[in-house]
Amino acid sequence: MIQAAVIGAGPAGLMAAETLARGGAAVTLFDRMPSAGRKFLLAGRGGLNLTHSEAARRFIERYGTAAERMRPAVEAFGPEALRGWSEGLGEPTFVGSSGRVFPQSFKASPLLRAWLRRLGALGVEFRPRHRWMGWNAEGRLRFETPHGAVVVAAEVVVLALGGASWPQLGSDGGWVQTVEAAGVAVAPLQPSNCGFRVDWSKRFRDRFEGAPVKGISLGLGGRSLRGEATITRTGIEGGGIYALSAPLRDAIAAGGGARLDIALRPDLSAEELARRLALRPPRQSLSTFLGKALKLAPVAVGLLQEAAVVAGEPLSGLPPEDLAARVNAVPLRLVGTGPIARAISTAGGIAWSGVDMDLMLMRRPGTFVAGEMLDWEAPTGGYLLQGAFATGAAAGRGALHRLGRDS
């Protein structure tokens, strides 16, 4: 019998394995992919954002409705602990201008290589190409491998199989039916930090696909935030959009669509905008004038015109005051989320009511859950990885407690 089995070799699973091994447990790590940390490496492709430096109170609020259940894990292994852990692997961190925390190498691969070496030194055994299929009648773990079915008995188990985004990297959500069949409640998996669908006109789509929209403010239901976005062929995505993905997704689910207001020049007051717009030369086209007077990029002017076509209200007939109001409240109707397979992360997962404070499944004593399998979501900016690391460490500590070992 294996003492401790960890299933899933992403950040949560690797951290659970390290926590268990440091506590003296013999750990076997299973993953369906041929190598560990596939999505972790993708996360570091543009600069690995490990965590964030903001104050603890504000930090925990980023986990929304799951904040109080996430609090014990994040407080036990928080941003400073994560930074110290990274430095211990030879990857010191720094705080960027936005408050985000990165390793100095700005890459995931050196950190992952050092981590896997550490796990090897701690005696963690890695078994790749093992796809978890659930439990057999005796409660043993079932796996499919290239060499056939495998059954494994373990004293404790940590499940860290991820959500359902980027399934080609290992997290395909295939575990949902398996755990539901065991009587575990699961909130439906949904895309988070995702793009949204917009019914662009062919003209706008063909001209502006891939264009960035910078220096804007996004408004939804009385809430606004600064950010950036990118026009896609099917809609819109980007950091500003991702930060609003949860309320946008909920609004679409409730009403079949969501209105997002885009302020193209949020740094200018309505009065200043109207003053500038009143100076339009009679013979200058409106598009040219908007670009010059308000320093709007062509895609920003295109958004204004696209919204006017949808509303059936030509911009050319608007007085300066009304046009100024439109510039800082361009209405954009979102009609759906982008596909979950292309989302950065996943909302939904195993309901908190089904796990105890050690993150153990109440219906499966001795089985613990970590990472995106749990029902939480957070914006990009370091909160996602912090949540995965923290819950992985918490599940590892819970499993050690189950084994009667100190964490």
**Residues whose CB falls within 8 Å of the CB of residue 368, separated by 6 or more in sequence, listed in order:** 16, 156, 157, 158, 159, 355, 358, 359, 360, 361, 395, 396, 398, 399, 402
Q: Report the percent of the chain where pLDDT is more than 70.
A: 99
Q: Where are the alpha helices (DSSP H) in 77-217?
A: 79-88, 109-121, 175-181, 202-208
CA nearest to 327, candidates 275, 388, 392, 400: 275
What's residue 223's pLDDT?
A: 87
Rounded to whole angstroms, how far apart are CA atoms 136 and 117?
Answer: 33
What's residue 314's pLDDT?
A: 86
∠ CA(318), CA(262), CA(317), 5° rounding?
10
Which DSSP helix (H) or strand (E) runs through 2?
strand 2-7
Query: pTM for the whole thing?
Result: 0.93
pLDDT band at 313 (very low <50, low <70, confident <90, very high): confident
Rounded to whole angstroms, how far apart are CA atoms 283 and 303?
Answer: 23
Segment among 53-57, 238-242, 402-406 with least mean pLDDT: 402-406
**Coil/strand/helix, residue 197:** strand
Mean pLDDT of the chain: 95
**Residues whose CB falls within 8 Å of the CB of residue 204, separated by 6 or more in sequence, listed in order:** 302, 305, 306
Rounded to whole angstroms, how far apart are CA atoms 80 and 380?
Answer: 18
pLDDT band at 42 (very low <50, low <70, confident <90, very high): confident
The mean pLDDT of 40-53, rounded to a whole number, is 87
Q: What are phi and psi of 368, to 5 degrees?
A: -115, 160
What's residue 391's pLDDT?
A: 98
Q: What DSSP designation does 50 have?
A: -
Beta-bridge mates of residue 367: 157
**Residues whose CB falls within 8 Å of the CB of residue 180, separated by 6 or more in sequence, listed in order:** 186
